[in-house]
Structure 1
Amino acid sequence: MTHQRTVPAELPSCPVETTLTLIGNKWVVLVLRDLADGALRFSQLQRSIGGISQKVLTQQLRAMEANGLVTRTVYAEVPPRVEYALTELGHSLKPVLDAMREWGEGYKKHVAG
């Protein structure tokens, strides 16, 4: 099943706000983190993220696919196999995730220290 891109019709004028509109919740960021190293099946993603319901993960993946961040590939096998992977646009967020990781590491040292 192919979903049409449903990027918000009017994106905010502020680039930071635009970014937050697309990736501004913890589940999207964790999906991006876990798909950064390659394609995963739904169950692998759910296990890797932890604490996310099937319904919420499905909603997040559909939104990310609609926004052009993730692709969904269905393989004609029995049983059917579905994999999710980052698009080029999704991969372009890697520096943002790297910066978040570095900041988080620094923050943890700061509060521990």
Structure 2
Amino acid sequence: MSEKVLEIEKINEKLTDRDGFMANCQRLIDTEDDETFLSVFSTIPDFPVGYASAEKAMALISGKWKYAILRRVFIRRRMRYSELKKSLEADGITDNMLSSSLKEMVQAGLLTKTIYAEVPPRVEYSITAKAIEMYRIILRMAMWYITYEKKELQELLEAAETKDL
């Protein structure tokens, strides 16, 4: 077999693996209760593919600066490098860290970089559809966290109300 055919087969195999993983994820998402979730989870053989995918997804915004950068660009939809630097300066970001974070986010497809042929040069970063989809997931995670945070606060409130002064 030619090298091209082997490469195509390898890519098709990866696509099939991911389709299977996504179908199993949907099965888990659709379960009604925790016990059913755990039972279904234990029957899924291809979860190592998913674990690596989840880790890669979280790495897209990991670290101290990526989420902070993404959030600022979301608010403004488009920002110049200098505006991003100024907005993060008080938090201590360095030029090197901002540049490398932006480069990684552009490579990951979360931001687009536009360089204008002007003097002095102007560079703008904009959000992408991929970033918008990811941000929706981040908001769901925030809602999940707040749900449990509210339960803890409710317990603290009840304890405070029943406490003898």
TM-score, normalised with respect to structure 1: 0.72
2:124 aligns with: 83
Residue 65 of structure 1: aligned partner: 106
Is 1:29 aligned to 2:67, yes or no? Answer: yes
How big is the alpha-carbon RMSD for the aligned residues of Structure 1 and Structure 2?
Answer: 2.7
**1:43 pairs with 2:91:** no
Once residues 90 and 24 of structure 1 are traced to their aligned partners in structure 2, the CA distance between those partners, rounded to angstroms, is 14
Instruction: Please identify runs of 4+ aligned residues in structure 1 that moved more than 2 A.
Output: 96-104, 106-110
User: 1:27, 1:100 → 2: CA distance?
Assistant: 19
The CA deviation string for residues 48-93 of structure 1, in whole angstroms up to 9 with x for no partner, is 2332111000000111111111111011122111101111111212
**Gaps spanning 5+ residues in structure 1: where?**
1-11
> What percent identity do the matched residue pairs reach?
34
Aligned residues: 101
Structure 1 or 2, whichever has the larger Rg, is 2
Q: For residues 149 and 96 of structure 2, what CA distance do their matches in structure 1 show?
A: 32
- Greater share of helix residues, 1 or 2? 2
Please give the alpha-carbon distance, in whole angstroms, between the structure 2 residues aligned to 1:94 and 1:64: 14
Tell me the CA shift for residue 33 of structure 1: 0.7
Q: 1:95 is paired with a residue of what secondary structure?
A: helix
- One of 136, 139, 150 as aligned partner of 1:95: 136
